[in-house]
Amino acid sequence: MAYSALLSALRCTPVWRSSMHSVANEHSFWDALFLARNLPVYFIHADCALIHIKKVINYCSIINPRNRAYSFLGVDLAIELYNDGKHICVMFNDLVKDAGDHAVQANQFLVVSDGEGALIDPSGHLTYNALVLAMHKYLPKKELKYLFASHQDPDIIGSLDKWLFSIECTLYVSQLWSRFVPHFCNLNRADGRIVGIPDEGTPVYLRDTVIHAVPAHFLHAEGNFQFYDSKSKILFSGDMGASLVDADDIQKPITTKAEFLAHLPTMSGFHKRYMVSNKVCRFWANMVRTMNVEMLVPQYGRYFVGPEAIGAFLDWISELQCGIDLFTQENYLYRG
Ligand SMILES: [Fe+2]
């Protein structure tokens, strides 16, 4: 549905809410109303009096209105990677949109196993409200048990304070960063809520599945993990396999070697700079070849499905000279 059509739909649909009190802290709801500021918006109070609430529009943040509108109308914001009715893995690829498109596209992931969920790399403040709205179709926020962070960057887990404030969940992150990420939070918010993953990784049990934190150190962060869902056989590969493309280009996975080669220009610059060295790329690729990975889904850009495309990527990354392999004294000259 076109954006203009969405706006038209919003402008001729009254918005109702049964209670003001239950949503007093739900900024996501106010965000959804942002585009409806020209609508007659009403609350039905307990005494059934209609209250015109244009004032509450002031609660809205003004970022990302398009996705607020999509979510509000129930338009899909997710790519379903796996869904057998009981176990669901979804990817949100289009929730990062600041007013000037200054922020890099990023994917966020939700794994739901028999009604219990985990978010992988839920991103920062820019995405929080839209993610809460978008994930609601699959899981009420309160059923979220875990957050998984591949590493410590703000586009990975910058929204930590909001998640820890709004639900009872636990964050898994490398033990190298478990005492750094509380800096994203208000005082004492993270106390007892963060599990530091040891360097060798750890299994985490989520109802009918096991999510394995697997080592991906120096790819790109010093303490770095990827998350493998044993039920769907999806490896959520963080920065490995990432590409810099528009959100609209992500719907279709890469399934063949030819598609991978055509896609390479969107990937190679990123991997050459952000991956630390060929040595660690090779170690990682060797590990992945021992796993049963049916889908490799990075945090940015398009994803890979099937042995041909995944094999082509592993072969390429195993040979890639990158990071410190390419640096010389020329990169460390004082130019004052
Ligand atoms: Fe990062």
The pLDDT of residue 270: 96
- In the β-sheet with 202-206, what is the strand arrangement from edge to edge? 202-206, 209-215, 225-229, 234-238, 295-298, 304-305
Measured in angstroms, how far is the CA atom of residue 322 from the centroid of ligand 1?
Answer: 16
C-alpha 16/C-alpha 40 separation (Å) is 9
The pLDDT of residue 105: 82
Q: Across all residues in the chain, what is the average pLDDT? A: 83
What are the φ/ψ torsions at residue 91 (nearest 5 degrees)? Answer: -125, 130
pLDDT of residue 140 exceeding 70: yes
Measured in angstroms, how far is the CA atom of residue 97 from the centroid of ligand 1?
Answer: 18
142 pLDDT tier (thresholds 50, 70, 90): very high
Model confidence over 124-139: pLDDT tens digits? 988 898 899 899 989 9
Measured in angstroms, how far is the CA atom of residue 220 from the centroid of ligand 1?
Answer: 7
The candidate with the shortest Cα–Cα distance to 93, out of 115, 67, 116, 74, is 67
What is the pTM (predicted TM-score) of this model? 0.80
The pLDDT of residue 230: 98
Measured in angstroms, how far is the CA atom of residue 256 from the centroid of ligand 1?
Answer: 27
Count how many Cα atoms sit within 13 Å of the Cα of residue 210 in the half-sphere of its side chain. Answer: 7
Measured in angstroms, how far is the CA atom of residue 225 from the centroid of ligand 1?
Answer: 11
E strand or H helix at 88? strand 87-92
- Looking at residue 114, the DSSP 8-state letter turns out to be T
The candidate with the shortest Cα–Cα distance to 96, out of 250, 252, 320, 258, is 250
Q: Which residue has the higher pLDDT, 146 or 134?
A: 146
Measured in angstroms, how far is the CA atom of residue 156 from the centroid of ligand 1?
Answer: 7
The pLDDT of residue 208: 94
Measured in angstroms, how far is the CA atom of residue 151 from the centroid of ligand 1?
Answer: 7
Measured in angstroms, how far is the CA atom of residue 162 from the centroid of ligand 1?
Answer: 20
Model confidence over 241-287: pLDDT tens digits? 999 988 888 889 999 999 999 999 999 999 999 999 999 999 999 99
Model confidence over 46-95: pLDDT tens digits? 333 333 333 333 333 333 444 444 444 445 678 999 999 999 999 998 88
Model confidence over 226-237: pLDDT tens digits? 999 999 999 999
